[in-house]
């Protein structure tokens, strides 16, 4: 197989956007598509090797897996070994337990399945997983397990039959991916069945070029013009994806056709005379491409451990420097780990296989130990306190209100009420949920019923058209949930008060599309105001006094306050570093504050910032108590403290000014 410099250069176009995306550089909002570029390249190269060798009767599974082991495992195991001491020293028990699970999953080629089961790729908590990026390696490893067997099993059918079979398989995978992008977005992102088509795009290119018995070479005349045009379009499609896509793009699915077809065009048409080939084949892109695998391995652990160790969020400039460090480490890893292990004169096949088996067994053993020991809570921090004594994982656990069974679905279960019949309805999304402990701390006898659905504001007849995490079906589910609540309210005679809360983020964004019935027109804010006012009026018509709680002060997901408090306790640093600027809070929540001020002209709105904020800053901890459990939500202990000090129950039940 002829060496193509532009392919190595294309690897640099794949790896650099991934690094900058994970560094949090917003201009690279679609940088995650670099993985899709890698998939196409991998499918192309692997298929070219297998088919070429099989055509010459030189292909064996043993040789194939030896090459894959030499290429993938030494650098991977080396990076993981370096990660382990930092995980031991800096991670909480829950983090270390999850890290241990990922060690075993990497060794079993199943880390994509593990991360799919834990959280979405774009969730803030994913930034703290040092081995998150190995999900793509697992996809490729799973592909390596079945693809050579497929070629061997179908070889006698001939090249055209194999091409057609792979074309059909890739089409099925693409359609499945498009369906899953709306219905199971996390599974769509992580799992092989919905990613397979991207690898097969590369396979189809390889079969096409091998059938022509040619690869792009020096072109002239009209052929050069065509190659210039289509290779340039291909590179433009990749670059467009990097800068135009973001974490709200339904991905993969049909959107992934943009970078994958762009990569395909570059591979097919970047002949030696084209500008695309000259740019990609120049020294710097090729040099970065050669170390791209090690750079990919290093970047995520460096970013994750930087975030874990930093009490406050590292600056973008610092994260870029860490990204550049990953390139430096990659160069050394390529020189001293990757190259030596690829040299058959230095390490024989049995040595490679035995070393891989021993290392994999060790990782599985360490993974089981970390999992079964619950993350080794007897470890101590710098002040000598054990993690068990600090109890940090429990203190910033997700706030589910009365019970996690009360979220996402409409239920009248006894688990979701504190009295029967209830007289206080808590209705809304996660910002309503986190108020419940505060209400109970101000009156332990409060008869509450929790009717909540995360990411679904308490607005009858209105929902954002799409939610990136939960998929398109979520919009209809939100509408149905609020309809169920309103029907139950009509049938219930015990309710006297309704507590409603939401940040209304997805409703107030001008770019959001809202789903509703009727002929309401205007901006998103005016449409939301019409529907939310109607919801509050409906409650009043049912003899229920509505009370709206504004979200607690925050500066958005750019600063995870709960994580900051968590790290302050681990590393024995001042919690005041986690406080936020009052000016930044008002700027970040400008739209929701203005919206709720408008609501306040007619209905009661409770402002938590009245208690937490001065003119200069907003407190995030009081007397060592964590107010927040993440970037925006109150912790259990924080809700209890704020609710007790502000007396939520009295604020809710006080007669309205209109009475």
Tell me what the mean pLDDT of segment 157-164 comes to: 92
- What's the chain's average pLDDT? 92
In this model, does residue 269 exceed pLDDT 70?
yes
Interstrand relation of 424-428 and 497-501 (parallel, antiparallel or unpaired): parallel
Local confidence band at 296 (pLDDT 50, 70, 90 cut-offs): very high
How far apart, in whole angstroms, are the C-alpha atoms of residue 477 and residue 224? 54
CB 326 within 8 A of CB 19: yes
Residue 509 is predicted with a pLDDT of: 83
Which of 629, 635, 639, 581 is CA-nearest to residue 608?
Answer: 639
How far apart, in whole angstroms, are the C-alpha atoms of residue 202 and residue 476? 38
Exposure letters 603-632 (e unless 16+ CB within 10 A, then b): bbbbbbbebbbeeebbbbbbeeebbbbbbb
In this model, does residue 106 exceed pLDDT 80?
yes
Any idea what the Cα angle at residue 474 is, between residues 245 and 175, rounded to 5°? 60
Q: Which domains does the chain possess?
A: 5-372 (no CATH), 404-554+581-613+637-653 (3.40.50.1110)
Residue 17 is predicted with a pLDDT of: 96
Q: pLDDT digits over 174-195, tens only?
A: 999 999 988 888 999 999 999 9
Residues 6+ apart with CB under 8 A from 401: 407, 426, 433, 434, 436, 437, 450, 452
Tell me what the mean pLDDT of segment 494-511 comes to: 90
How far apart, in whole angstroms, are the C-alpha atoms of residue 23 and residue 300? 9
List the structure tokens of 494: 């015990």
Local confidence band at 659 (pLDDT 50, 70, 90 cut-offs): very low
Q: What is the pTM of this model?
A: 0.85
Q: List Cα–Cα distances, 649 to 216, 442, 603, 640, in angstroms.
A: 74, 6, 17, 12
Residue 413 is predicted with a pLDDT of: 93
Percent of the chain with pLDDT over 70: 95
How far apart, in whole angstroms, are the C-alpha atoms of residue 4 and residue 508? 50
Residue 218 is predicted with a pLDDT of: 63
Local confidence band at 579 (pLDDT 50, 70, 90 cut-offs): very high
Residue 619 is predicted with a pLDDT of: 97
Tell me what the mean pLDDT of segment 134-138 comes to: 96
Residue 537 is predicted with a pLDDT of: 97
Q: pLDDT digits over 197-248, tens only?
A: 999 999 999 999 988 766 666 666 677 889 899 999 999 999 999 999 998 8
Tell me what the mean pLDDT of segment 356-360 comes to: 96
Tell me what the mean pLDDT of segment 432-439 comes to: 97
Residue 252 is predicted with a pLDDT of: 93
Q: pLDDT digits over 70-105, tens only?
A: 999 999 999 999 999 999 999 999 999 999 999 999
In this model, does residue 627 exceed pLDDT 70?
yes
In this model, does residue 164 exceed pLDDT 50?
yes
Tell me what the mean pLDDT of segment 277-296 comes to: 96
Owner of token pair 């973001």: 246
Residue 510 is predicted with a pLDDT of: 72
Q: pLDDT digits over 509-564, tens only?
A: 876 788 887 666 678 899 999 999 999 999 999 999 999 999 999 998 778 899 89
Which of 222, 235, 215, 223 is CA-nearest to residue 275?
Answer: 235
Which of 650, 549, 556 is CA-nearest to residue 609?
Answer: 549
Sign of CA dihedral 508, 180, 208, 278: positive
Residue 466 is predicted with a pLDDT of: 62
Q: Which of 224-228, 349-353, 631-635 has the lowest mean pLDDT?
A: 224-228
How far apart, in whole angstroms, are the C-alpha atoms of residue 366 and residue 550? 46
Q: pLDDT digits over 452-487, tens only?
A: 999 899 999 999 876 555 555 678 899 999 999 999
Q: pLDDT digits over 299-316, tens only?
A: 999 999 999 998 878 889
What is the CA 255 to chain-centroid distance, rounded?
Answer: 17
Residue 273 is predicted with a pLDDT of: 83
């Amino acid at each position: 197989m002829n060496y193509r410099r532009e392919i190595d250069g294309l690897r640099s176009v794949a790896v650099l956007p991934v690094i900058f995306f994970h560094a949090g550089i917003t201009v690279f909002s679609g940088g995650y598509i670099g993985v899709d570029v890698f998939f196409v390249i991998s499918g192309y190269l692997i298929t070219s090797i297998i088919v070429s060798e099989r055509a010459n009767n030189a292909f064996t599974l043993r040789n194939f897996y030896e090459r894959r082991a030499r290429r993938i495992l030494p650098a991977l195991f080396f990076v993981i070994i370096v990660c382990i001491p930092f995980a031991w020293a800096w991670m909480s028990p829950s983090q270390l337990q999850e890290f241990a699970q990922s060690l075993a999953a990497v060794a079993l080629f199943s880390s994509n399945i593990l991360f799919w089961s834990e959280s979405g790729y774009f969730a803030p908590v994913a930034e703290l997983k040092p081995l998150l990026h190995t999900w793509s390696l697992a996809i490729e490893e799973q592909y390596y397990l079945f693809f050579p067997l497929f070629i061997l099993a179908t070889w006698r059918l001939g090249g055209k039959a194999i091409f057609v079979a792979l074309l059909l398989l890739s089409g099925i995978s693409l359609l499945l991916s498009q369906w899953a992008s709306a219905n199971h977005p996390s599974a769509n992102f992580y799992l092989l069945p919905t990613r397979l088509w991207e690898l097969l795009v590369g396979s189809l290119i390889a079969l096409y070029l091998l059938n022509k018995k040619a690869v792009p070479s020096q072109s002239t005349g009209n052929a050069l013009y065509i190659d210039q045009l289509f290779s340039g379009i291909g590179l433009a499609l990749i670059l467009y994806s990097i800068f135009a896509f973001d974490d709200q793009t339904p991905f993969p699915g049909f959107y992934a056709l943009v970078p994958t077809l762009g990569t395909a065009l570059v591979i097919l048409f970047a002949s030696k005379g084209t500008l695309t080939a000259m740019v990609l084949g120049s020294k710097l892109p090729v040099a970065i491409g050669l170390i791209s695998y090690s750079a990919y391995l290093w970047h995520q652990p460096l970013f994750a451990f930087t975030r874990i160790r930093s009490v406050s969020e590292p600056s973008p400039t610092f994260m870029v420097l860490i990204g550049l460090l990953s390139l430096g480490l990659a160069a050394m890893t390529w020189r001293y780990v990757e190259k030596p292990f690829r040299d058959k004169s230095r390490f024989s096949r049995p040595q490679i296989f035995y070393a891989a088996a021993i290392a994999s067994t060790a990782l599985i053993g360490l993974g089981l130990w970390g999992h079964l020991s619950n993350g080794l809570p007897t470890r101590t921090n710098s002040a000598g306190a054990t993690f068990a004594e600090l109890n940090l994982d429990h203190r910033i656990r997700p706030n589910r209100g009365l019970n996690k069974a009360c979220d996402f679905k409409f239920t009248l279960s006894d688990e979701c009420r504190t009295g029967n019949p209830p007289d206080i309805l808590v209705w809304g999304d996660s910002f309503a949920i986190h108020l419940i402990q505060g209400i109970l701390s101000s009156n332990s006898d409060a008869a509450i019923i929790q009717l909540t659905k995360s990411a679904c504001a308490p607005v009858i007849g209105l929902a954002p058209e799409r939610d990136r995490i939960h998929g398109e079906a979520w919009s209809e589910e939100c509408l149905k949930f609020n309809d169920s609540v309103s029907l139950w309210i009509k049938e219930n005679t015990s309710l006297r008060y309704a507590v409603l809360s939401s940040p209304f983020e997805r409703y107030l964004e001008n770019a959001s599309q809202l789903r509703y019935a009727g002929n309401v027109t205007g901006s998103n804010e005016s449409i939301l105001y019409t529907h939310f006012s109607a919801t509050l009026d409906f409650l009043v018509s049912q003899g229920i006094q509505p009370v709206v709680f504004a979200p607690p002060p925050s500066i958005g997901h750019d600063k995870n306050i709960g994580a900051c408090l968590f790290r302050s306790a681990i590393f024995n640093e001042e919690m005041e570093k986690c406080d936020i600027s009052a000016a930044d809070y008002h700027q970040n929540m400008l739209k929701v504050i203005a919206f709720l001020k408008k609501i306040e002209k007619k209905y009661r709105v409770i402002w938590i910032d009245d208690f937490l904020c001065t003119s200069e800053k907003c407190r995030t901890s009081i007397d060592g108590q964590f107010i927040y459990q993440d970037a925006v939500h109150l912790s259990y202990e924080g809700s209890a403290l704020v609710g007790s000090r502000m007396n939520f129950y009295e604020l809710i039940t006080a007669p309205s000014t209109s009475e």
